[in-house]
Structure 1
Amino acid sequence: MPSRSQYALMSSADKNMVLFICFSSAVAFFDFLIYLYMADIVSSTFFPANLDPNISKLQGLGLFAVGYLARPLGGLIFGRYGDIKGRKPILLLSMLVTAGSMLAMACLPTYAQWGLLAPALFILLRLIQGMAFGVYVPLAWIFVAEHVPRQYLSLGCSYVTASFFVGVLFSNAFFIWLNESMTPEQLITNGWRLPFIVAAVLSFLPLLAWRFINESPFFIELRDIKPDKHTNQPFTLLFKNCRQSIFIGLMLTLIIASITTVIILLLPELIELSFTLNNDLFDFSHSLGIVFMIFGCIFYGLISNYQNFGRILVIGSVLLIGQMFAFYYHLEAGGDYILIMYALLGFCAGIVGMVPAILVQLFPTNVRLTGVALSYNVMYGIVGGLVPFGLGYATMFISFSPALYIAFIGFIGVIMGLYFYHLPEFRKIDTII
């Protein structure tokens, strides 16, 4: 396998590749989150207008949940293809499918025009886009990890993770602008198409630099060294040799998915169920928290390059638990310093930035994409499907429910950190089975 020196410097090609993946990742997250921001509008456009408002709301959220359900299927199908045919072809395919599905959604007729066929087509396109997103996220980490010198592996993966949250920030800003620029009637009429058009254009933009992106050197070496074996069925090899890695991957993804879902997506709505705060100040605080989470991702990715991963994960998990409870106690006290507390919470939540570097090393090269896609998407589907409803219900009775849940996740992070701390030697990233 390619032997890149631990002390090699990142080349210009490596830096351009990381920028390419980071930009594409930010766009991919924007694409996926459109449904969350547009739930009410999309529901009004693609379903009968005489339905109860609460039912319409559930329908809109259901369209968002459909993407989570499609992710494991797409991750497995496309992940297997990526381990057999190469990382670059599946990266191109996932980007093209995402861009094409966004453009198709922008051109769809409404329920008033085509009746039940309109929501059926929308759901189908949503499933297709969710499948593409299911393989893109693990592929982005793997593509960077297999290109950059070993000493930059953790930092490179943390850049990709941070770029996802850049996509969240862009989504916040874009939909604030959209809601201020158009009335609800304009959005329902044709304004809802604009986010999908913007998403399609942004998704096509990275393809302009496609010829400068190279196939993973790990896959090239694998194909050259084992031409008769590298096409072995990834599923067979994976479940025969990597059952422990799958379990560890599920636990690591539980940490990533829970922190991202709760702190980035759900926390504002969960807090509103129990506390009364100034809306403008709170919205700004939430955005500031995301900014500091981006910094936190890069910080933890950087220090985990030079320190024992397990030790950093234990320390980071303990700090996150402490800050989450401090954040909620501060809300109980009135929330006068919500800006500072949200920024600190976001920075502590940045431990998710260091986790993908270990996730990609759990699996050998010839089953890596299949293994990471399986672990990541199955657990993310469970968290995305159950946690919003479970925490929403629990918060109505116990205001500290989100803090208790993050404390539970932090405890898992401590356990995983201790496991990696005492692990004598971790699998090398160029391993083959």
Structure 2
Amino acid sequence: MPTRSKYALMSAKDKNVVMFISFISAVIFFDFLIYLYIADIVSAAIFPANSDPTVAKLQGMGLFVIGYLARPIGGILFGRYGDIKGRKPVLLIAIVVTACSLLAMAFLPTYAQWGALAPALFILLRIIQGMAYGLYVPLSWVFVAEHVPRQYLSVACSYVTASFLVGVLFSNTFFMWLSSIMTTDQLTDYGWRLPFLVAAVLSFLPLLVWRLVGETPFFLALDKPQIGTDVRKPLTILFKHCKHSIFVGMVLTLIISSITSVIILMLPDLIAINFALDTDLFNFSHSLGIIFMIFGCIFYGLISNHDNFGKILVTGSILLIAQMLAFFYHLQAGGDYILIMYALLGFCAGIVGMIPAILVQLFPTNVRLTGISFCYNITYGIVGVLIPFGLGYATTLISFSPALYIAFVGSIGIIMGLYFYNLPEFKKIDHVIL
């Protein structure tokens, strides 16, 4: 297996890999999320006209949920392939499939043109896109983790995680710009195609420097005859030897998915249920929170490593709980300092930036992508489908429900931090099981 000095420096090639994956991550997240902002508009163009706005809303959200449900399929199926054939081939698959599905969405005929075939094709494309996304997210962390020296593993993964948030910010900004230059009728007629077209073009861009990116050193050093070519073997090994890692990985993914889903995606709508705030000020506050979460991701990545994961996770979880509760108490008091409070909340939520570095060290090299794909996509699929409906309903009953849920998730983070604090040294990231 490849060995590096404990104090090896990150080479220029390693830095380029991190930048390359970070760029793709921002684009991929923009690709997947942009639909959320234009769901109602796309639904009006793709589905038959419906006078009931609630039904139209459910149609649009249903297509978004389908993307979540498709993620485990793509992640697990192609994750196994990546553990056998290599990380680079599946990275190419994820990029090309995403770009092609988006390009097809951009030129898809409407219901008025093709009838029921239009929504059927759009659903199929959303499933394909969701499968590619489910593969890419775990792969991005594995790809950088297997390139950089171990002491840079946490910060490299945090840059990738932060770049997902850059994609969120970009999709939010892009939608506001699109809404400002087009009327609702124009968006429904043809404007909804523009985000998919832009996303497709951006997705193809990384292929221009594809030849400069190499396979990960850890995969190249694997003993191929011992790995074999049976696509079932990595999954068999995973469930035979890594049951504990699977459980821990799913709990860590619960933390990541809950924090990002609630604070980044759902919080504006949840707050609007019970609190009346100036719309423009609140939208700006939300964007500011995302920016500070990007900084928070990188900060936690910089200060954490395999020697102090437990301490940092406990401390960060406590700070997140305190700030989330303070945020809602502040809203109840009138929300005069919403900018400051949202910025602090976003920074505290950046604790998610250090968790992927733990995930990649839970699994041996020859089942790493399969293991993370399984944990991440199964858990995220459950959270992505159930939490929006469950927490949305709970918030109509108790205004503090989002704060209480994040406090619950933060408590899990504290427990996991204490577990890692008392855990012996992580296994070497290049270890293999047979």
1:297 aligned partner: 297
1:380 aligned partner: 380
1:353 aligned partner: 353
**CA positional deviation for 1:228:** 3.6
Report matched runs for 1:18-57 at 5 Å: 18-57=18-57
Conservation of the 8 A alpha-carbon contact between 1:5 and 1:150: no
Aligned identity (percent) is: 74
Query: What is the rounded CA distance, in whole Å, between the counterparts of 1:47 and 1:306 in structure 2?
Result: 50
Deviations 1:208-246 (A, max 9, x none): 110110001000000xx3424354511100000000000
Any stretches of 5+ residues in structure 1 without a counterpart? none
2:218 aligned partner: 218
Deviations 1:99-146 (A, max 9, x none): 000000011000000000000000000000000000100000000000
Structure 1 residues 14-23 or 43-52, which shifts more? 43-52
2:128 maps to amino acid:
I
1:121 aligned partner: 121
Conservation of the 8 A alpha-carbon contact between 1:153 and 1:357: yes
2:225 aligned partner: 227
2:430 aligned partner: 430
**CA positional deviation for 1:320:** 0.3
**CA positional deviation for 1:417:** 0.3
Conservation of the 8 A alpha-carbon contact between 1:230 and 1:366: no
1:308 aligned partner: 308
Any stretches of 5+ residues in structure 2 without a counterpart? none
Conservation of the 8 A alpha-carbon contact between 2:76 and 2:373: yes
**CA positional deviation for 1:362:** 0.5
Report matched runs for 1:200-219 at 5 Å: 200-219=200-219
Query: What is the rounded CA distance, in whole Å, between the counterparts of 1:226 and 1:13 in structure 2?
Result: 25
1:379 maps to amino acid:
T
Conservation of the 8 A alpha-carbon contact between 1:309 and 1:420: yes
Does the residue aligned with 2:10 lie in a helix, a strand or coil? coil
1:369 aligned partner: 369
1:393 aligned partner: 393
Deviations 1:30-52 (A, max 9, x none): 00012210110011011111341
2:117 maps to amino acid:
L
Does the residue aligned with 1:293 lie in a helix, a strand or coil? helix
**CA positional deviation for 1:5:** 1.7
Which ranges of 4 or more aligned residues in structure 1 deviate by more than 4 Å?
none
1:374 maps to amino acid:
F
Structure 1 residues 359-368 or 48-57, which shifts more? 48-57
1:302 maps to amino acid:
L
1:373 maps to amino acid:
S
Conservation of the 8 A alpha-carbon contact between 2:50 and 2:56: no
Query: What is the rounded CA distance, in whole Å, between the counterparts of 1:177 and 1:365 in structure 2?
Result: 43
2:93 aligned partner: 93
Query: What is the rounded CA distance, in whole Å, between the counterparts of 1:341 and 1:30 in structure 2?
Result: 26
**CA positional deviation for 1:257:** 0.1
Does the residue aligned with 1:310 lie in a helix, a strand or coil? helix
Query: What is the rounded CA distance, in whole Å, between the counterparts of 2:399 and 2:250 in structure 1?
Result: 28
Query: What is the rounded CA distance, in whole Å, between the counterparts of 1:75 and 1:307 in structure 2?
Result: 30
Report matched runs for 1:250-261 at 5 Å: 250-261=250-261
1:411 maps to amino acid:
S
Does the residue aligned with 2:71 lie in a helix, a strand or coil? helix
Conservation of the 8 A alpha-carbon contact between 1:141 and 1:360: yes
2:336 maps to amino acid:
D
Does the residue aligned with 2:305 lie in a helix, a strand or coil? helix
Query: What is the rounded CA distance, in whole Å, between the counterparts of 1:209 and 1:6 in structure 2?
Result: 30
Conservation of the 8 A alpha-carbon contact between 1:291 and 1:346: yes
**CA positional deviation for 1:306:** 7.6
Conservation of the 8 A alpha-carbon contact between 2:84 and 2:227: no
Matched, 1:72 2:72: yes
Query: What is the rounded CA distance, in whole Å, between the counterparts of 2:228 and 2:432 in structure 1?
Result: 9
2:427 maps to amino acid:
R
Report matched runs for 1:158-237 at 5 Å: 158-222=158-222, 225-231=223-229, 233-237=233-237
Matched, 1:335 2:335: yes
Does the residue aligned with 1:361 lie in a helix, a strand or coil? helix
Query: What is the rounded CA distance, in whole Å, between the counterparts of 2:86 and 2:51 in structure 1?
Result: 47
Deviations 1:3-46 (A, max 9, x none): 02221111111111111100000000000012210110011011
Query: What is the rounded CA distance, in whole Å, between the counterparts of 1:377 and 1:307 in structure 2?
Result: 27
Superposition RMSD in Å: 0.9
Query: What is the rounded CA distance, in whole Å, between the counterparts of 2:405 and 2:279 in structure 1?
Result: 25
The alignment covers a number of residue pairs equal to 431
Deviations 1:127-178 (A, max 9, x none): 0000000010000000000001111000000000000000001011100000
**CA positional deviation for 1:305:** 2.6
Deviations 1:241-262 (A, max 9, x none): 0000000000000000000000
